[in-house]
Amino acid sequence: MSNIKAAFENNKAFVVFLTCGDPDLETTAAAVRAAAANGADLIELGIPFSDPTAEGPVIQAANIRALQGGVTTDRIFEMVKNLRRDVKVPLVFMTYANVVFSYGTERFLSACHDIGMDGLILPDLPFEEKEEFWPACRQYGVDFISLVAPTSEDRVAMIAKEAEGFLYIVSSLGVTGTRKEIKTDLAPIIKTVRENTDIPCAIGFGISTPAQARQMADLADGAIVGSAVVKLLAQYGKDAPRHIGEYVKSMKDALR
């Protein structure tokens, strides 16, 4: 069984996203540990990219801060290697196709295997072009995690049938960022997913409050939060891990 799938076995999963290197990798590592200790079931680690097209202003700014601070993919790999000494929850990278391609796809996935990464999400990669990366993911035992958006329509079933790890359901049109309410009717998408796969699905983009997390988890198998956590890093800097731990606990409690 996929290590990622196991994260969804005990009740609803709470998934946390962090931008690596914001404000520095030591703080990222502390934030990962705080999130895991307070109930995060799976953690997405964002590898910064200069043109993060799926991101709203909060995560865009985090990418810029991290890159200006000198973070590199190799330094992120080293951080994960150290984290894996004590952090057991599934970890996935979320980044952009160009980051992996320019590093060397096979080299990147081989490194992911060696340091204990469980999955890879590339939000700018159309499903139809996944053959650029999927064979290497298979070769090195890294789940290639697909996304389904409200615009996917008749492609939902096709994407669901080939899903690995978990299926990332994008809640809203547009980029990442907190939203006061999520108005998209996701029930038909979830229904189609359920009819075509037993892989768990989690909803992300726009979730920031315990009530929103509960609402989304009632529909799906889990909720994903990114911008709200990255805002805490922007606000508190090196002191953010404690606040992230408290926030994750409040969100996980809402899903129990």
User: Cβ(81)–Cβ(119) under 8 Å?
Assistant: no
Determine the Cα–Cα distance for residues 34 and 31; give it in Å rounded to an integer.
5
Which sign, positive or negative, has the C-alpha torsion 90, 94, 98, 99?
A: negative
Mean local confidence (pLDDT), 5-19: 92
pLDDT per residue as tens digits for the range 75-88: 999 999 999 999 99
CA atoms of 50 and 196, how far apart (whole Å): 36
Q: Which band of pLDDT confidence, cut at 50, 70 and 90, is reported for residue 153? A: confident
Task: Identify the domain containing residue 43 by its residue range.
Answer: 3-255
User: Would you place residue 89 in the very low, low, confident or very high pLDDT band (cuts 50, 70, 90)?
Assistant: very high
Can you tell me the mean pLDDT for 8-35? Answer: 96
pLDDT at 184: 64
CATH number of residue 172's parent domain:
3.20.20.70
Domain count of the fold of the chain: 1
Number of other CB atoms surrounding residue 176 within 10 Å: 24
Tens-digit pLDDT profile for residues 202-246: 999 888 899 989 988 999 999 999 999 999 999 999 999 999 999
Residue 95 has pLDDT above 50, yes or no: yes
